[in-house]
A and B are shown apart, each in its own frame.
Chain A
């Protein structure tokens, strides 16, 4: 008899669905496929069938549970407040418990991503050989055919020097005065490997505002792609390592410039705990985690009008993309808009459907690249409608996908993290 341990934990959420079908309007995957198995209602129903012992973990079932961006558009708009994200994540965890991870994911998650030095080594290896990949104009490289079966998506160009190789363990405030607070910087993989300059710039920004910054080299990948794929075992291991990495540093906050990382760190307590002790530990940790967008406005209390635009962005028209992990996972949407609206020297235009998922969905884009492109296509339509020169956001994950699709669609826009725009 299967214990269905992970699913039992979320049974109450699955039971909340009353089958109204409203989620179909919001689900980016359903909007493309228009089939009931793609929408939250259908997924939820099938998961309940598993709980009732009427459905097995067939390959088709695994595919259905995989067809979810975890964008939370369904949950955010569900009148019954059904938390489909939790249902899907728990279902994936149950699937992994029963069927294992599969060879590729097993290797990538457990041998590479879960091990900081190994991840660095593999990234360096890719960095060396990336010249072999055909290049688009931006940061994206097409995977050569022989690795295409790993997934069809293009790959971001890796930086020459990773952030981890340039960063110091501690940065003092630049004015030489006593720090107003001490903050741990969680770099995140994308900033580490693809956007290291931006990482350094953020440290510079913090120290100029009187903050002492520590960057522990024992931090690891946040684990989003891993635990959202159902590998709770590795997910818990990474969670424990990250909690430990910041534990004795005596920091007031743990800050990151990656929306996915901040939400992932905050949500360890929601998705992962296997016992009370773990739950409490993750909850303690969550209290300190802040995304850069809320940190600069709510904690540092910088007034929106006090941000200063960098010269190079003078006169540009700018639009904002809400990362799912910011707007729905953390309810952060006003802070970035406040900054952009107050920033002198640019014109801010709100795009239609600013909170629409960009289509990345972590490893979703690896397995369903065609769907990702279609979903991103709708995002691109929104961007085009604004006539903006620059798309700003606050998640390197979104940035990679937005850059990819801007190029694919031969559009002129540049993509930036909001904090890249300011001095």
Chain B
């Protein structure tokens, strides 16, 4: 519990309507997109200006109260759960798109801007922000930067960190600093900007960001490639890339996922296929046509059973709708789902897929795979039920082995969801102690009182 006097100080700073203390509100800020991590804060504060954030941080730092920034609360690693109580700093009311600079292809935004709102605004100027986490309807720029989110389009365009030119951050002691800038090139000392990107709110509060934008490509095409064998589909990914075509998206889904999507939305996906690859290519119209031909040719040469080229935008949209419904299909079918986020070098995708198949047999659990094949970021998901102890334990073991396998194949345990609470135990296992110590050192330097989102990442 916080002192009454502190609550009224917060109210003075942000106004009464922007401070919540009812038990109901605290419950509503106790969770994020995960199933298992829940902890209530003592107060929820909605700042609307950088100065307010700074004043709140000064008090929190003096009183040593934990502060957990929260955007859309869509992360799936426990990142925005206030694990040690204290203040949830809800950034959702700092949601202005301050400026879109068409000449320099940049945008200045507040952290609470929801990605889809930004996308709609940018579309008016035929611009886009390339990182495309599939949670774009709920995720905020602050959360996206703090998790270094990425999505299907990262095959060609990369992830969030490649599109952040600069940020404004309120440090734990209330000081406001500006990292990076507004230029594409910037080598003024250490690259501190990138320490804050993917810091999961443990170093400071992002209050503004300068984003790099791209013009929307003139043409786009979608291909749906059908396979009898999912490992062969996995190989298809690098054969295409090797051939010199860089699609903007390459997504993978296995037979189980295909069938669940078909049950939900009847897209006419091939239900008997062992796996599918969805490709999207974008760019200049003539180039796009050529690339479609080339992908068709290459995938057929390397074992694809059938290639369907979407004839128009509606058919293409249907495929992508199916893909984005994929995870819902998974979550809807089991009480508890471990949605893994392992990422391996692309060449090892077939190995990882085969390993998942073996593990499913070994532990007698259902493991389904859908994910961003283009960047090796598969999302194997294990379907289980937390109330069925025997099954749950087997699922846990299978998950451990999937992660170990990914590391064995030269990969990492999280491609885009971050560590938060969910992946802590694996983080310790697979990270060199010296590296963890370096992170701890940086944390102690910036946040000596350990008030920023404590209890996360390596703890």
Contact = CB atoms under 8 A, between A and B. Distances in A.
Interface in B127-156: 135, 137-139
Given A34-B92, A36-B73, A18 B135 contact: no
25 contacts: A18-B33, A18-B35, A20-B33, A20-B74, A21-B74, A21-B137, A24-B138, A34-B112, A35-B20, A35-B25, A35-B28, A35-B92, A36-B73, A36-B90, A37-B25, A46-B24, A55-B24, A55-B27, A60-B23, A61-B24, A79-B324, A79-B325, A79-B327, A81-B328, A81-B332
Residue with the highest number of chain A CB atoms closer than 10 Å, among B35, B46, B332: B332
Q: Which of the four size classes fits the interface of chain B?
A: 35 or more
B302 interface: no
A122 interface: no
Contacts of B31: 19, 45
Contact of B138 (A22, A45, A61): A22
A16 interface: yes
Q: Which 7 A-B pairs have the closest CB atoms?
A: A79-B328, A21-B138, A25-B137, A36-B28, A34-B92, A18-B331, A42-B28
A149 interface: no
B137 A24 contact: yes
B24 A25 contact: no
B10 interface: no
Interface of A: 16, 18-22, 24-26, 34-37, 42, 45-46, 49, 55, 58, 60-61, 64, 77, 79-81
B52 interface: no
A49 B27 contact: yes
B247 interface: no
Given A16-B332, A79-B327, A80-B332, A21 B24 contact: no
A2 B90 CA distance: 35
Contacts, number: 87
B210 to A, nearest CB: 23
Nearest to A24: B138
A21 B135 contact: yes
Nearest to B114: A25
A369 B249 CA distance: 46
Contacts of A19: 31-35
Contacts of A18: 33, 35, 328, 331-332
Given A25-B116, A46-B24, A80 B95 contact: no
Most buried by A among B27, B46, B332: B27
B43 to A, nearest CB: 13
B37 to A, nearest CB: 11
A46 B138 contact: no
Contacts of A26: 137
A25 B119 CA distance: 13
B29 interface: yes
Given A25-B116, A37-B28, 11 more contacts: A18-B331, A19-B31, A24-B137, A36-B28, A37-B25, A42-B28, A46-B24, A55-B27, A60-B22, A79-B328, A81-B332
B417 to A, nearest CB: 13
Contact of B135 (A20, A45, A58, A77): A20
Interface string B235-264: 000000000000000000000000000001
